[in-house]
Amino acid sequence: MASIFEATHPDHAIPLLMKLPHLEGGDPAHIVSFEMEQMILPRLSGPHVPRFVAAAGFERQPYLAMERILGPSLLLRLRELPLAVEEVASIGARVAVALSELHRQRVSHLDVKPANILFRDSPSGGKGAAEAVLVDFGLSHHGRLPDLIEEEFRIPYGTAPYMAPEQAMGQRNEPRSDLFALGVLLYQFATGALPFGDPQHLSAVRKRLWRDAIPPRRLRPDLPPWLQEVILRCLEVDPARRHPTAAQLAFDLNHPEAVRLTARAERRRRDGWLKVLERRVNQDRAPRQGRPAATAHAAPVIVVAVDLREQTAPLAEALRASVGNLLRTLPGARVACVNVLLDRYLAGDPLQDNRGRSTHVQRLVELRHWAAPLGLEEGRITFHVLGGSGAAAPLLEYAEANGVDHIVMGARANSMLRTMLGSVSGEVAARAPCSVTVVRAREALP
């Protein structure tokens, strides 16, 4: 999703990295995840995250500059598995401490895996002083920021072997999803195997909702009961049955004698097929919860649909004026500027312009320029380029999935295209789950 370069700067004595996203290709997730990390990393602090240094947007060459963590990642330890019990517990405790500090800052990482965990030496030095550092926040969720991943995509993102069941079902605002991922990592480092394998499809990932893992003591008989208790508690399907916080998980890993043992500690077999079938039937019968709408904020959401291909200057000004009027009546509202990239065969949009630049990125830049006169600070305005064969359907889907309160859009000018394709604004107004304002520019007097 990005290239990483070592960097230097005369104003910064610390080792630096520069991250440049891959803009070629047709996967908008690369762009959106980079935007998420640009929003989240500057708001994080403490020794368990890289220090933010600088960033640049998509107007020219986007980048993210940060502290370079000189220590190794856990990825290098995979060749040594399984590890000694004491080392598994020590690694797990230090990662849990890092997660605890992250969760206190209202961030769920949602991509905890060996490659995203590094260790750096404590300033005090000494044996065993290496602190865990979490990196790569492109898939993370911040409780006080818009969640662009959730708002724009209908499929869950993460690393399949470590993904929590609720995350596989589309829930992104649960910190205990990180405890599940850490449980997978503890299982892997203790046994040398992944508890749920390496599924390649989402349907296979979702099997962990009803199919439990082989108890780790079945694979490694010398594993102490207390560690199996901790691991299987992390791997519970229901987040409420896991440790309440990462801090409590760290305490258990640091104090084995204090771990309260249950039936989990002595298990040697997976649940039988009747139990699995019952679980699956109950899961299938359970009412499907919709994607959580606007989980990060209770403020109203105003969508302004911006047609960058046909919009005239008078219409753009009229749209901005309409949004400004709404913001005066809803002072806490957030604005989402949306454009649709058409992928139909006729009258569609190319993936790249004549200079080889990503059309998706160019639209994001144009949306930012369009919205600049509104003068809204970061966090109150977001920018989204959706895809679809028509303009109406993606707008309606976005409004339904994200609990939108009001849509503002321009009326298409009378033309042959409108005659052939119909009125987008009319279709949106007829089917939208919220109020819709259709704006038409006032004609200039001769």
CA count, 13 A, side-chain hemisphere, 203:
0
90 CB-near residues (< 8 Å, 6+ apart): 128, 253
Q: Which two tokens stand for residue 179?
A: 């405890």
Q: Comparing C-alpha atoms, which of 110, 15, 32 is closest to residue 67?
A: 15
Alpha-carbon distance of 62 to 134, in angstroms, equals 22
Peptide bond into 82 cis (omega under 30): yes
Tokens of residue 176, six digits: 């205990």
Name the residue among 246, 239, 238, 235 with its Cα closest to residue 103.
246
Q: Report residue 71: phi and psi, to 5°.
A: -75, 175
198 given a catalytic annotation: no
The token pair that represents 195 in the structure block: 């508890």
Whether residue 142 contacts residue 296, with contact meaning beta carbons closer than 8 Å, is answered with yes
The pairing of beta strand 131-134 with beta strand 141-142: unpaired
User: Which one-letter DSSP state was computed for residue 177?
Assistant: H
**Cα distance between residue 146 and residue 380, in whole Å:** 8
Q: Which of 111, 178, 212, 307 is catalytic?
A: 111
Active site residues: 111
